[in-house]
Structure 1
Amino acid sequence: MIHTSTSPVTDGAASAAPLVRTIEELTPEWMTAALAKERPGIRVTGVDIDRVIWGSATKAFAKLTFDGESHGIPERVCIKGGFDERSRAFGLGAAYELEGCFYRDLAPNLRAEVPACFYAEAEPEQGIVILEDLTARGAEFGEATNLWSIDTVAETLEVQASWHGPLWGSTKGRYAWLPVGVEAARQAFQVMLSPEQFHPLISRDEVPELSAGLRDDERVRRAFRALWEHDDNAVHTINHGDAHFAQLYRIPGRAPAFLDWQTACLAPWSHDVAYFIGSALSIEDRRTHERDLLAHYLDALEAHGGPRIAPDEAWADYRRHTLHGFAWMCVPTVMQPSETVAVMAHRYAAAIEDHDPFALLFRD
């Protein structure tokens, strides 16, 4: 158990809760002030944190106790935010801020399941959300080392199409905080792809032996610049932005859904789709099924109000966006477990070698 804190709390906690930066500051006083924003009169008297998952953002799982009514807040919650300075050092503050904005403003209007959210707020370089603990609904979570069936991958692509289609052609307009492209990843890549970081990161045991072209840091940086320029000028829809398999959960009897919306952005459809397919299948299964899965997604996109994209155009854009998977060659193990980095790096490296996005990006 990380900590147990119990204390009396004054009624209502009228002032808004400041966004704390450490697990230790998630006290009954802070929880009361946060939850009272929408539920005046709520009193949290105990916050028992019994599990913490450290990663790009930190998830603290807590049992709450209340003085009187819980106002619909469950006993078990997940508190997520930027609580680890080691991850913040990679420029991820914008991601924490973005997820707070997503759950506060966009999630209620998204045509897809997301975890129930009881508090969401953001400020520069920080965002905190208080979510349901999905294990209470029997959720199964995607694990990179334990993949689901081809049919489930197809069903997940339908889920992506269910928000890509209705939000096709989106611009910043209504959600001024929503970036074009994955802003946090682009900032982090300024560090990860630098010559000082690039070579030590790709030389780790978790990363497969890369071809000479993928070991050329200047070539990789130039390709990402070309991809970002392409994406900035494309037709946009709402993207998850980091839609790999380990972001999934599924409730029994329901379609898969995505967690971790700290990279939500405006981007081409192919950003989410190529990145997801590259992570969700073994190398062999991807090679066998990716064209059929892409065709399945395109049909679903059109059914959900999106355009009919020509197969050759879609295939080229899919190939171009396999480059996003290169991020896993550089993901520090402080952000993801070593075994997850290893299987993802191998899958994405194979996809990049198979599809040669460099040929398209340097020709564009």
Structure 2
Amino acid sequence: MSTVALSTIVNEETGVVDAAWLSQKMAPRLVLRAGVRPGQEKMGGMSAGEFRFLDVVLEGEGGEGGEEEHVALALKQSAPSANGAMMGLAREAFFYAELAPSLSLAGVPRCYFSEGDMATGEAQMLIECLTDAVPAGVFFGAGNPNNWAVKARLGELCAGNPSPVETTRLSFSLYAQLHAAHWQSSPLFEKGWLRGADWYRGEGEAGWAGAQQMAKAGWEAASAQRLAGEAKLKWDPHLVACLDASFGKVSWADFQAEKDDRPFAFVHGDAHPHNALWTRQRTDGACLRLIDFEMVGVASPAQELGQYMISHMAPELRRAHERELVAGYHAELTEALRKRRAGEGGEGDEGDGEAQVAAFTLEACWEEYVAGGAGRWVWFLPMFWQMTPVAQFFHDQLAAFLKDHVADPANMPMPRV
């Protein structure tokens, strides 16, 4: 593919958008005219893509003379780059083209066009523009680094919107639906663009080991600085012991054995509140929508819950509500899986569906919430430990989680790539 530069599609001076280019991408729908949406900027998520928000007028379904259709779209583009190719950022385009239509999930924005190239990292998509929206992560307060730039506005952004606990409940509900859609579905392994698909086929050891080594090298550098008395972070001794134990367990053979003993599903892969938007806020139609699908893959579903909690929720609030929130996810997931077994959706299941539901008990879900969350953040933290004070916040979040749930460092899982 060859991505056309945004500057050739959008006239920044006049705000006029190339309707012919849009018509080509949205065929057979004819774009009559289009322009940049005034005053709208990207909010939420950590995507590296470049955005333009558009007002688009389409010819009526019946052709000329039919009633025109007005749609708000987000044009998202990622240029070719070595980093984008390494991280596989083009997978979001494949997600919208191949998997999003099968989800029947209200939380996923509609996509009108998408294409990507995993070899170069380039991608372009025309996605439903979520209007009157605010990143759900802002509801978690000024402590989170994602909110530091909007500290002065947090009062107005949060007023009349959900609390952190309610936001988490709604997020876990969306994850339950997302995970149930392709629960234990081996056809996922054949989608090579999905992160981890090759690992679940028993292939791609070099890529897995390279990702582990990247984090391990970061941890070794952080440890050397700490032992030399030059640390800029205030390292918690229990966290240090837990990370030492975790990185000491890295083994491809053990990973292969472990993954076969826990459920897998299609996962978002970057589960945190800033990767969701609270849309149509302060109205009866307000709802939560997921965004940024650049890290979608095959992995442990309950791992996403732990990743989400450690990322944003204050430890005292997490301690008070995590059991009920995980139980709520488990109940909704179980109900969705039973409906699929009854023929109300889904595809590609293997084995006895009821046995799969029964095997994933609430306790098993809780254990994966802990192990997956801990393992995922053990891999994350050494990747950006030098970014103080941002790293200090996430260090403290992970340290509190480990003290609450992993009393003995010997019980740490290996890092979750």
TM-score bracket for this pair, using the shorter chain length: 0.7 to 0.9
- 1:249 is matched with 277
Q: What percent of counterpart residues are identical?
A: 17
The correspondence for 1:291, drawn from 301, 317, 323, is: 323
Please tell me whether the aligned partners of residues 57 and 70 of structure 2 are also in contact (alpha carbons under 8 angstroms). no
Distance 2:210 2:18 in 1: 30
Instruction: Return the offset for 1:276.
Output: 1.9
Equivalent residues in 2 for 1:210-289, closer than 5 Å: 210-211=236-237, 214=240, 219-223=245-249, 225=251, 228-229=255-256, 230-231=258-259, 234-251=262-279, 252=281, 253-289=285-321
Partner Cα distance (2:198, 2:138) in 1: 24
- Asked if the contact 2:238/2:399 (under 8 Å) is kept, the reply is no
Q: Is the 8 A contact 1:181 1:265 kept in 2?
A: yes
Distance 1:88 1:214 in 2: 31
Asked if the contact 1:26–1:47 (Cα under 8 Å) also holds between the matched residues in 2, the reply is no
Residues 66 and 130 (structure 1), Cα distance of their counterparts in 2 relative to 1, 3 Å cut: same
1:347 to 394, 397, 407: 397
Match of 1:193 in 2: 215
Structure 1 length-normalised TM: 0.72
For the residues of structure 2 that align with 1:77 and 1:332, how far apart are their CA atoms? 33
Where does residue 82 of structure 1 map in the other structure?
Answer: 78
Matched, 1:36 2:12: no
SS at match of 1:164: helix
Counterpart residue type for residue 168 of structure 1: W
- Asked if structure 2 preserves the Cα contact closer than 8 Å seen for 1:19 and 1:123, the reply is no
Q: Distance in 1 between matches of 2:55 and 2:232?
A: 38
1:161 and 1:25 map into 2 onto residues whose CA distance is: 41
Q: Cα–Cα, structure 1 residues 275 and 78, in superposed 2: closer, same or farther, change >3 Å?
A: same
Cα root mean square deviation, aligned: 4.4
Q: d(CA) in 2 for partners of 1:128 and 1:31? A: 16
Of residues 35, 49, 61, the one that matches 1:58 is: 49
Instruction: Report the alpha carbon displacement of residue 243 of structure 1 after superposing the two structures with TM.
Output: 0.9
TM-score (norm 2): 0.64
Q: Give the CA deviation at 1:123.
A: 1.3
Q: Within 5 Å, give how 1:314-329 maps onto structure 2.
A: 314-322=365-373, 323-329=375-381
* Cα separation, 1, equivalents of 2:19 and 2:388: 33
2:2 to 18, 36, 39: 18
- Are residues 256 and 170 of structure 1, via their aligned partners in 2, closer, same or farther at CA, if it must alter by over 3 Å? same
Deviation at 1:122, TM superposition (A): 1.4
Partner of 1:313: 364
Partner amino acid for 1:311? L
Tell me how far apart the structure 1 counterparts of residues 134 and 255 of structure 2 sit (CA, whole Å): 34
Gaps of 5+ in 2: 12-16, 61-66, 142-162, 200-206, 339-356
Note the C-alpha offset of 1:277. 2.6
> Given that residues 328 and 341 in structure 1 are in contact (C-alpha distance below 8 angstroms), is that contact kept between their aligned partners in structure 2?
no
Q: Once the 2 structures are TM-superposed, how far is the Cα of residue 143 of structure 1 from its aligned partner?
A: 2.5
For residues 150 and 198 of structure 1, the distance between their equivalents in structure 2, rounded to whole angstroms, comes to: 36
Contact 2:46 2:275 in 1 (8 A): no
Q: Counterpart of 2:353? A: none
Q: Unaligned stretches of 5+ in structure 1?
A: 1-16
Q: Give CA-to-partner distance per residue, 1:149-191, whole Å, 9 cap, x none.
A: 3233223212211222243221235962353638899588457
Question: What's the counterpart of residue 346 of structure 2?
Answer: none
Distance 1:19 1:155, change over 3 A: same
Q: State whether residues 193 and 217 of structure 1, in contact with CA within 8 Å, keep that contact through their aligned partners in structure 2.
A: no
Q: 1:212 to 1:133 in 2, by over 3 A?
A: same
Aligned-partner Cα distance in 1 for 2:322–2:307: 12
